[in-house]
Amino acid sequence: MADKTPTPHIGAKAGEIADKVIMAGDPLRAKLMAERFLENPVQYNNVRGMLGFTGTYKGKRISVQGHGMGIPSIGIYTYELYNFYGVKSIIRCGSAGAYDPSLNLGDIVLGMGSCTDSNYAAQFNLPGTFAPIADFGLLRAAADKAESMGVNYKVGNLMASDAFYGENAENWKAWQKMGVLAVEMEAPALYMNAARSGNKALCICTISDSLVHGTACSAEERQNSFTNMMEIAFSII
């Protein structure tokens, strides 16, 4: 793998990234996680401002990496991590908008699967429709940890859209009717890249806004809070 590193998007050399990576769309949230949870974090990436750090958490070597917004962006970073840096497990810690009326700001959704309007799966030339799903071991461990912490959480389907500002503002209601819990923008590419490379992935989201209730967190709250999902991720990876 050393002959393929650094990559065009990650400046780390082979061996500088752990085989367990926790990711966030916002590189400043990745920096926050590294500073809050890792012992002796060392920054290995600043290419395009997409910060990455490696350190230890309770004796485990873990890296934290930003991935940007949207399926194409996380698709690039997770592909390089899985295929060029030997990463075996990735957990995305992200924000999501609630479709389910029982979800409130700060609640956690564990993405068992992910629906999408993206065409990302077309590259695999499959003779049907691929269902992107999480690694069950990580999912079960995350649910057990959330249960032990006493936090409000739900396990189920996410929706990942390519459009943040969609032409039809009511489309979410169709997904809600199918039991989809919340919307984010990255999980399918993470899950598909994990499946294709034979590795593990899980998307953990904190509800930052609700399409049902019309409530929302501030940008600062999105960046600096959401510590419950972070604790879950670091504890189980």
Distance CA 40, CA 42 (A): 6
- Contact call for residues 31 and 55 (beta carbons, < 8 A): no
Does the structure show a pLDDT above 70 at 119? Answer: yes
Residue 186: CB atoms within 10 Å: 30
Residue whose tokens read 């309770």: 58
Four-point Cα dihedral 187, 193, 197, 202, nearest 10: -10
Please write the tens of the pLDDT for every residue from 39-57. 999 999 999 999 999 999 9
Burial (CB < 10 A; 0-12, 13-18, 19+), residue 6, is middle
Please write the tens of the pLDDT for every residue from 167-206. 888 999 999 999 999 999 999 999 999 999 999 999 999 9
Active site residues: 209
Question: Any idea what DSSP says for residue 13?
Answer: P
Q: Does domain 2-236 have CATH number 3.30.540.10?
A: no
The whole-number average pLDDT for the span 153-179 is 94
